[in-house]
Structure 1
Amino acid sequence: MQQFDLTIRHGLVASDEAVFEADVGIVGDRIVEVARGLPAGRRDIDATGRYVLPGGIDTHCHVEQRSGMGIMGADDWYSASVAAAYGGTTMIVPFAAQHRGHSLKQVADDYAALAAAKSVIDYSYHLIVSETDRQTLQEDLVEQIRRGITSFKVYMTYDQLKIDDYQMLDVLALAARERALVMVHAENNDVIRWVSQKLLESGRTAPKYHATSHVALAESEATNRVIQLSKLFDVPVLIVHVSAQDALATIGAAQRMGAQVYGETCPHYLLLTEDAMDLPGVEGAKYCCSPPLRDANAQEALWTALKDGVLQTVSSDHAPYRFDESGKLPHGDATTFKQMANGMPGLETRLPLLFSEGVNKGRMTLPEFVALSATNHARMYGIAPRKGLVTVGADADIAVWDPRHEVVLTASGLHDRVGYTPYEGTKVTGWPRTVISAGRVIVDDGRFDAQPGSGRFIPRSTPLPFQNERALSASSRFFRGLAEGASSEAHATFGYTDRKNQN
């Protein structure tokens, strides 16, 4: 009979498709059996009345990262990974950010070293690409993709990071060739810049004007534009932190027409509204993020989009800026909406909020929660089948949830280093009581047991959108060939002929 190092017995196991009674047997860092009636292991966890779910995967969070404005976030890899674990997340994929003039290779190497020394859970990272020179795109980025960093992010806004449409085409062509997933922060920079300048000139500087400047049409226009650009090569794109109804409608329409476009949203867009930015003084700065919070109609549209599959993942977009001069308020109470750091903390609260407001309030089923919190992330970003499901052969990354456990969220009760939570005083029902990372029980009824650097780097394989071969149109083949400098014979497949070669 198999001897298990760890068993989880008498619980309800959930996948992205079903909920069923089963025990889970673990040897070392892997799940080796999922079946009823398993014998107790060397360590045995009684999950009676609890759900046994795959550990969450957060594929959009900012950890030990300096913003484009030069502001360093409060969380390093240790504090962020600890907070993630307490919230039921067992793998994070934050960003190694290339700022202007910096070597992408050096940025990636430095970031990998920080993670290896500090993370308590398994991890990967995306790249943020702000330069499109040959060294960056054709050498450094290709090297990183081939070592398992198979996704990267680009910005259409923020002067310090954004790329223009010409650069975007270079990026998309490279992604098509290397089969890497492009994540896009889609907002029209010039619209935001124009509105912001007019607001500031008229003395409107309060945090609430952040939402005014990031008007919803800036998000929908940029979303539409990058989708159209991606069609030149028929290459997948993923629109991150979708917040606005028109952007959602654009994504849904493009999907129905066959475009390879995917989307994510975040708990703050599902649960908070722009009214929070209109608090007295600069208190509203706590709720400023980009894109900004919208209204109740947008919230309902987002919940529907999650249910209908228009959006595939829910990430935290954890942006850990303190509410002081080091973060949100570089000029104290005189800070304008353009000067404050954008973003909110949410790494630890992502899954409890989604469970409480989604599963317990009937907005989603438990399998849908599993998909949106773990399985879809694993598949989308090339981490499956190693992560994202409680199944034989997968890593033993598991969160044992008590669906009735109530927690009132407070900054003092969370484990990041931000010092505030936008959900202060919110009661959630459902919390992961035991969290297992690679076979190690690292959280157990509030007790934490893991050392810095005990997490592992997980190289990622081909992202889901590239896994099934797709017949390309003659147009897409032509423009992919054009990007690679293909011969005139290849170009001729789309009816083009090099006139010089006709003579």
Structure 2
Amino acid sequence: MRSPESMDADFDTVLHGGEVFVGQGLARCDIGIRAGRIAALAERIAGGRTRFDAAGRWVLPGGVDAHCHIDQPPNPGSAARGAQMADDFASGSRSAAFGGTTTILPFAPQFKGQSLRAAVAAYHARAEGRSHVDYGFHLIVSDPTQEVLAQELPALAAEGYTSVKIYLTYEALRLSDLQVLEVLDAARQCGTLTMVHAENLDCILWLTERLERQGRTAPRYHADSRPMLVEREATFRAVALAELAEAPLLIVHVSGREAIEVIAGARARGLPIVAETCPQYLFLGSEDLHAEDGAKCMCSPPPRARENAPFVWRGLQSGALSLVSSDHAPYRFDESGKLKYGPKASFRFIANGIPGLETRLPLLFSEGVMAGRLTLAEFVELCCTAPARLYGLLPRKGQIAVGADADLALWDPQRRTVIDNALLHHNVDYTPYAGMAVTGWPTHVWLRGELVCADGELRGRPGQGRFLRRGRHGIPLRAAP
């Protein structure tokens, strides 16, 4: 635990008296911070220009939310075109910080006919000088031209954009199997990780049109248009295409038992397949779509029936699911967002997505760690270390270690909170988790040694967060079963 530096050395900040997550568990440990990085870990550290008493609380790594949508421009070809996201980088990153997250990875979307380089430049303009936490970009490829794959993708990978998302659903974004293979192959060659949204578009369209002919257009029927079979088939196909291309693959927002079984089978065969899930598949159910305001819980894939949640927990416990992200998609419940086409619009015209940046860690901490479903080490791995490793941010992010950025979250493990939207810091007018009681909440958060928020008070400033150039992904070409 003792760093190679002298404990008599001065530090910008010393956190003392807390229980710190180091290695695989908590230890009574002081943290010495210098120039934004952890410079020393020891049982007792003297000095420090600023000293902070962490007694009685847990010090965990700042969270890494590897899948969130912030100020993403609406796709002109989408069914819900015109719906605007409520969070820009200032409000979205502020919400992340108050929830214990210090690194976010949102998406720079390429639309049909657009240069990938131009998409990245446009997204930088939205982010510059606004973020309270550090951030990187995933690329979204919807038009994989030869120029994009042979020139732009390798050049952007060399500049630290080392992940690309593709879709098997949404008419404006869906790639053919041939295009998927071409992206997988190009990404593999330049060390870029391919992420996939795995739902079968043609099945969804067939089911949607049949439901609409029957007059079944309320939000509850969104789940009927996207049953688990639709996700299972697309997951199986994505795994097969990745195997053919000999490329690593990360399957995002896995919702249900059937897809998890496909993923577990692929990993058991040693394929480099990794998968993520999200809180909505642990804490929401398809039953929530039946409410009068059921559109508030609409996302894709949809929340499954309540009896599905234990399978997702088991996927996290077994390693079939490797990380938990929020998939934060902040649409307000008004005419700017969810109700763009009116309160009676068919579910196909309601913007997909729910807010969750600030609640991701407290929900999983409470019902995972405090309820005994996850160890603290598993929680940190799923929410901090694994996303940092998978997306090329280790050893700088996702852990408490000498040399790492001093991204720290101080948790009160016994704090009891009933989630209410008035307590949150996003720019969305609701949370789907309202009324849920959680045990444990982050009270103070540091980004590179600077205090961002403390006891509900914002201490940081827009622009404090920096853009992160990321390294190669952390998935071996043959994954261990």
Same fold (TM over 0.5): yes
Q: Distance in 2 between matches of 1:16 and 1:271?
A: 29
Q: What amino acid does structure 2 have at the position aligned with 1:72?
A: Q
Across the aligned residues of Structure 1 and Structure 2, the Cα RMSD in angstroms comes to 1.2
Q: Distance in 1 between matches of 2:353 and 2:317?
A: 26
Alignment-derived partner of residue 369 in structure 1: 379
Instruction: Assess if the C-alpha contact under 8 Å between 2:31 and 2:45 holds in 1.
Output: yes
1:397 matches 2:404: no
Q: Distance in 1 between matches of 2:200 and 2:428?
A: 29
Structure 1 stretches lacking a partner, 5+ long: 472-503
Secondary structure at the aligned position of 2:40 is classed as strand
How far apart are 1:16 and its partner, in Å?
Answer: 6.1
Instruction: Assess if the C-alpha contact under 8 Å between 1:19 and 1:367 holds in 2.
Output: no
Q: What amino acid does structure 2 have at the position aligned with 1:36?
A: E
Alignment-derived partner of residue 327 in structure 1: 337
Instruction: Assess if the C-alpha contact under 8 Å between 1:287 and 1:422 holds in 2.
Output: yes
Provide the aligned length of Structure 1 versus Structure 2: 467
Q: What amino acid does structure 1 have at the position aligned with 2:346?
A: T
Q: Distance in 1 between matches of 2:270 and 2:391?
A: 20
Alignment-derived partner of residue 431 in structure 1: 441
Q: Distance in 1 between matches of 2:24 and 2:44?
A: 22
1:81 to 82, 93, 96: 93
Q: Distance in 1 between matches of 2:462 and 2:188?
A: 37
Instruction: Assess if the C-alpha contact under 8 Å between 1:84 and 1:90 holds in 2.
Output: yes
2:28 to 8, 21, 29: 21
1:47 matches 2:48: no
1:274 to 270, 282, 286: 286
2:63 to 43, 56, 68: 56
Q: Any residues of structure 2 matched to 1:475-494 within 5 Å, and which?
A: none
Q: Mark the structure with the bigger radius of gyration.
A: 1
2:251 to 239, 244, 257: 239
Alignment-derived partner of residue 460 in structure 1: 470
Q: Distance in 2 between matches of 1:33 and 1:15?
A: 12
Q: Distance in 1 between matches of 2:370 and 2:341?
A: 42
1:196 matches 2:208: yes
Q: Distance in 1 between matches of 2:282 and 2:338?
A: 22
Alignment-derived partner of residue 32 in structure 1: 39
Q: What amino acid does structure 2 have at the position aligned with 1:358?
A: G
Alignment-derived partner of residue 488 in structure 1: none
How far apart are 1:271 and its partner, in Å?
Answer: 0.9
Q: Any residues of structure 2 matched to 1:334-349 within 5 Å, and which?
A: 334-349=344-359
Q: Distance in 2 between matches of 1:229 and 1:426?
A: 40
Alignment-derived partner of residue 489 in structure 1: none
Q: Distance in 1 between matches of 2:478 and 2:98?
A: 40
Change in CA separation of 1:348 and 1:388 when aligned onto 2, cut-off 3 Å: same
Q: What amino acid does structure 2 have at the position aligned with 1:63?
A: I
Change in CA separation of 1:191 and 1:176 when aligned onto 2, cut-off 3 Å: same
Q: Distance in 1 between matches of 2:460 and 2:121?
A: 24
Q: Distance in 2 between matches of 1:232 and 1:405?
A: 49
Q: Distance in 2 between matches of 1:231 and 1:121?
A: 36
Q: Distance in 2 between matches of 1:299 and 1:266?
A: 11
Q: Distance in 1 between matches of 2:303 and 2:47?
A: 48
How far apart are 1:72 and its partner, in Å?
Answer: 2.2
Instruction: Assess if the C-alpha contact under 8 Å between 2:109 and 2:119 holds in 1.
Output: yes
Alignment-derived partner of residue 483 in structure 1: none
Alignment-derived partner of residue 3 in structure 2: none
Q: What amino acid does structure 1 have at the position aligned with 2:180?
A: M
How far apart are 1:15 and its partner, in Å?
Answer: 4.0
2:108 to 72, 81, 96: 96
Q: Distance in 1 between matches of 2:230 and 2:337?
A: 25
Q: Distance in 1 between matches of 2:43 and 2:305?
A: 46
How far apart are 1:233 and its partner, in Å?
Answer: 2.3
How far apart are 1:296 and its partner, in Å?
Answer: 2.5
Q: Distance in 1 between matches of 2:219 and 2:122?
A: 34
Q: Distance in 2 between matches of 1:76 and 1:470?
A: 38
2:182 to 161, 170, 176: 170
How far apart are 1:470 and its partner, in Å?
Answer: 5.5
How far apart are 1:251 and its partner, in Å?
Answer: 0.1
How far apart are 1:94 and its partner, in Å?
Answer: 0.4
Structure 2 stretches lacking a partner, 5+ long: 1-7
Q: What amino acid does structure 1 have at the position aligned with 2:44?
A: G
Instruction: Assess if the C-alpha contact under 8 Å between 2:239 and 2:273 holds in 1.
Output: yes
1:132 matches 2:144: yes
Alignment-derived partner of residue 7 in structure 1: 14
Q: Distance in 2 between matches of 1:389 and 1:338?
A: 41
1:414 matches 2:424: yes
Q: Distance in 1 between matches of 2:169 and 2:287?
A: 24
1:443 to 422, 442, 453: 453
Instruction: Assess if the C-alpha contact under 8 Å between 1:441 and 1:449 holds in 2.
Output: yes
Q: Distance in 2 between matches of 1:242 and 1:96?
A: 21
Instruction: Assess if the C-alpha contact under 8 Å between 2:286 and 2:306 holds in 1.
Output: no
Alignment-derived partner of residue 358 in structure 1: 368
* More deviation, 208-217/133-142: 133-142
Secondary structure at the aligned position of 2:39 is classed as strand
Q: Any residues of structure 2 matched to 1:134-283 within 5 Å, and which?
A: 134-280=146-292, 283=293
Instruction: Assess if the C-alpha contact under 8 Å between 1:58 and 1:92 holds in 2.
Output: yes
How far apart are 1:307 and its partner, in Å?
Answer: 0.9
Instruction: Assess if the C-alpha contact under 8 Å between 1:15 and 1:367 holds in 2.
Output: no
Report Cα offsets for 1:317-373 as digits up to 9, x if no partner.
Answer: 000001011111122222111100001000000001110111110010111111111
Instruction: Assess if the C-alpha contact under 8 Å between 1:390 and 1:396 holds in 2.
Output: yes
Q: Distance in 2 between matches of 1:66 and 1:457?
A: 19
Report Cα offsets for 1:274-321 as digits up to 9, x if no partner.
Answer: 1000013xx100011000000233210110111111111100000000
Q: What amino acid does structure 2 have at the position aligned with 1:141?
A: L
Secondary structure at the aligned position of 1:20 is classed as strand
1:300 matches 2:310: yes
Instruction: Assess if the C-alpha contact under 8 Å between 2:131 and 2:465 holds in 1.
Output: yes
Q: What amino acid does structure 1 have at the position aligned with 2:32?
A: G
Instruction: Assess if the C-alpha contact under 8 Å between 1:16 and 1:370 holds in 2.
Output: no
Q: TM-score, normalising length from structure 2? A: 0.95
Report Cα offsets for 1:54-90 as digits up to 9, x if no partner.
Answer: 0000000000002433322110011000000000000
Q: Distance in 1 between matches of 2:23 and 2:159?
A: 29
How far apart are 1:40 and its partner, in Å?
Answer: 4.1
How far apart are 1:110 and its partner, in Å?
Answer: 1.6
Instruction: Assess if the C-alpha contact under 8 Å between 1:16 and 1:371 holds in 2.
Output: no
Instruction: Assess if the C-alpha contact under 8 Å between 1:285 and 1:340 holds in 2.
Output: yes
Report Cα offsets for 1:126-160 as digits up to 9, x if no partner.
Answer: 01100011121111222111100100100000001
Q: Distance in 1 between matches of 2:113 and 2:245?
A: 28
Instruction: Assess if the C-alpha contact under 8 Å between 2:208 and 2:225 holds in 1.
Output: yes
1:381 to 376, 386, 391: 391
Q: Distance in 1 between matches of 2:273 and 2:116?
A: 26
